[in-house]
Structure 1
Amino acid sequence: MSGLDTLRAAIVQTLNGVPQIGRVHDRERFASDEAALRALYLHTLPGGAQQLRGWWLRRDATEERSLNVGRTLSVDTWTLHGRMAVDDTAASELAFDALIEAVRDAVRADPTFGGACATSPIKDEKATDGMQVGGTGAVSFCGVQCHGASLQLRTWRYL
């Protein structure tokens, strides 16, 4: 397994530790029809009801930086995409916001994902730590009105 694969698996493992997060995938999933795609993102709630509630992780970019002779740093930028079916009577927007904050808390509690990456040794114009909320809003997913979110994260690995 490459360092990137190990890091991806560690991030997904951390996300799966967030209570009631739903289905977390290590990549964007596709299916031949909408029903099959929906099945990939269905989550069973306490009490047995099912809700469209899922996430997928994508590496969006990688920057390579030479820190000094013989020391190279790989800076990976990740986006976590989340979807959760709207249920206005249950105030689902507030529940979705709480999930986003629980994800941010989990990353803040273990920023190296169990040692799969390093803490940031550099400070630059993108000097951010933890999971950033890039945007939220209503989206249609699998033919269902959903809350959507895009969360960004940067990780650092020595090559």
Structure 2
Amino acid sequence: MATLTQIRDAIKAKLEAIPGIGVVHKYERLATRVADLKALYVTGGQLRGWHIRRTATNEVSPTLGSYVIDHRWQIRGFMAIDDSAESEIAFDNLIEAIRDAFRADETLGGLIKGTQVPPPTIGVQLIEHGPVMFADVLCHGARLNLATRHFRVGV
């Protein structure tokens, strides 16, 4: 039986395994000072980081004492823009590497049933991509969605 924490940790580990991903936080890191927020997402001198947030949970009980639990996750990423280095292309490639990684292991190492949740989508979906200001830095920003499904027997 997977727990919420185990699923969140598995998503984080899957992201961290992607070369060049940057900093990955298992929750949305916030700070009251811009400099502190920026420091949370900088690696190798560049703002490049991601965070994970659970946005919804749906649970049904098809039979007495058994449960199907669907979680919706949002993965947000930011990378400082460097137009001369074609950073938009590098960021797009990171997004595709994330999608590939989850497609290659839909059960997160056997922890969950899979990432196919109605409507019939599977894996990581790119919802939004474009320039954003984050921590006073002009960045590429992306919002990705992931749905996970697991089963639980008993309370």
Q: TM class by shorter-chain length?
A: over 0.9
1:11-90 → structure 2 map (5 Å cutoff): 11-44=11-44, 50-90=45-85
TM-score (norm 1): 0.90
Q: Name the CA shift for 1:119/1:88 in 2 (closer, same or farther; >3 Å).
A: same
SS of residue in 2 equivalent to 1:116: coil
Match of 1:150 among 134, 143, 153: 143
Displacement of 1:121 after TM fit?
A: 7.5
In structure 1, distance between residues paired with 2:104 and 2:115 = 15
In structure 2, distance between residues paired with 1:69 and 1:120 = 24
In structure 1, distance between residues paired with 2:116 and 2:129 = 30
SS of residue in 2 equivalent to 1:52: strand
Runs of 4+ in 1 over 6 A off after TM superposition: none
- In the alignment, residue 151 of structure 2 is paired with which amino acid? Y
TM-score (norm 2): 0.93
SS of residue in 1 equivalent to 2:94: helix
SS of residue in 1 equivalent to 2:51: strand
Displacement of 1:120 after TM fit?
A: 5.6
- In the alignment, residue 17 of structure 1 is paired with which amino acid? A
Q: Name the CA shift for 1:101/1:120 in 2 (closer, same or farther; >3 Å).
A: closer
Instruction: Name the % identity.
Output: 46
Q: Determine whether 1:128 maps to 2:121.
A: yes
Q: Determine whether 1:99 maps to 2:94.
A: yes
Unaligned runs of 5+ residues in structure 1 are 45-49
Contact 2:71 2:147 in 1 (8 A): yes
Partner of 1:47: none
Instruction: Output one character per residue of 1:94-141: Cα deviation in whole Å (capped at 9) or x when no partner.
Output: 00000000000110111111122112676x4x1111000011011000
Partner of 1:114: 109
In structure 1, distance between residues paired with 2:37 and 2:43 = 13
Paired residues in the alignment total 151
Unaligned runs of 5+ residues in structure 2 are none
Displacement of 1:31 after TM fit?
A: 1.6
- In the alignment, residue 90 of structure 2 is paired with which amino acid? A
